[in-house]
Amino acid sequence: MLEQDLQFVETAFKKYYFEHFDLLSIPNRASEREFGYQKFNGGMNRHISIKSNEELRLMLITNIPSDVYCSNAYYSFPNLPMSEKDWKGADLIFDIDSKDLNLDCRINHTCIKCFSCGEVSILQSVCPKCKSTKIEKKSLTCKNCIEGAKNEVIKLYTILEEDLDIKKEKIQIYFSGNEGFHIHISNSPYQQLGSRERNELVDYIMFRGAMPETFGMKKSNPLRSSFVDIDTKGWRGRVSKHIYGSKSKRSKAITEIISTGYSVFQQRLDNLKEIIGVKIDPNVTIDIHRIFRLPGSLNSKSGLSKVLCENLEKFNPFQESCFIDDENTNVLANCPTQFTLKNRIFGPYKNEKVTIPKYAAIYLICKGLANTTIQN
């Protein structure tokens, strides 16, 4: 980030933390967690112990971080090196990101920026100006992306409640501040699970490694009576419902499964993973020492806040997580696609000098698609 852009964004972030500190929430058992932060154009600072809102406020105002983090894990000594922290357990956290959903809409709101010459253009495999393949994709998330991510959250929520018996009051859903959602599970029976056990849990949630025998199909001499009913709880019932369609069609579907054989049914289950499995980032849930974006903090990839979703269905991140003010700001914008914030449509811009609200300017600068070379 250029120096003038850095100063502009840091000033906006500092103002946000000064005026909206009440949006940040110190998690429970804060004194047992590791905190961290990253500065613009700087590295990660970890192994920090914070015990109160006052200490958090001081860290934010003093350092003006680009991103603020907190561990899901609990430690006896959170400020010591990892090998000396004494791990005591960790909350379950799931990350659902729209970029992992392979939605058709993404081609319409993703552009590229060339590392070699700085050219910005619509999505393509090489830079149209210098033909370099050293390019970075820049996505400006759309409403359809958010709806797709919401659908995955709903699928996950169902499994957490119905299969894992996690009470709804222990499940918190946050917009990540950029392209998806973080689902936090606290005070659950799963806090003591290590990485290996969490990996097995991820396999279950993503519907990975399903075996035909689980659903009644055997390699030799399969029995019709062994096949699962639609009303069965968990994945067995969900898969059966998806394959049969209805109880009246169950018999005919079983006949077809038996006739086509074991390997065909195995392939069918593998294909189902993409349809009914929850698309979470497995590495996030497995890592028991990871530090996560702190609720209420700003995301340096967008300038939007990580906020709690009280009503997921009605939640609009382009309105409800945008807290930077609307002061008119002059920027040189180079963004070949449209984006929406606070019910306003911006772009596309082609190396244009434009005057836009500060929240839109911050968004573009954070995406690397504008700079503040023009003076107000």
Cβ(374)–Cβ(332) under 8 Å? yes
- HEC-encoded secondary structure of the chain: CCHHHHHHHHHHHHHHHHHCHHHCCCCCCHHHCCEEEECCCCCEEEEECCCCHHHHHHHHHHHCCCEEEEECEEECCCCCCHHHCCEEEECEEEEEEHHHCCCHHHHHCEEEEECCCCCEEECCCCCCCCCCCCEEEEECCCHHHHHHHHHHHHHHHHHHHHCCCCCHHHEEEEECCCCEEEEEECCCCCCCCCHHHHHHHHHHHHCCCCCHHHHCCCCCCCCHHHCCCCCCCHHHHHHHHHHHCCHHHHHHHHHHHHHHCHHHHHHHHHHHHHHHCCCCCHHHHHCCCCEEECCCCECCCCCCECEECCCCCCCCHHHHCCCCCCCEEEEEEEECCCEEECCEEECCEEEEEEEEEHHHHHHHHHHCCEECCCCC
- Of 100, 281, 287, 326, the active-site residue reads 281
Residue 281 annotated to the active site: yes
Residue 67 annotated to the active site: no
- Of 5, 67, 91, 95, the active-site residue reads 95
Task: Tell me how far apart the alpha carbons of residues 60 and 62 are, in angstroms, rounded to a whole number.
Answer: 6
Residues annotated catalytic, as ranges: 95, 97, 281
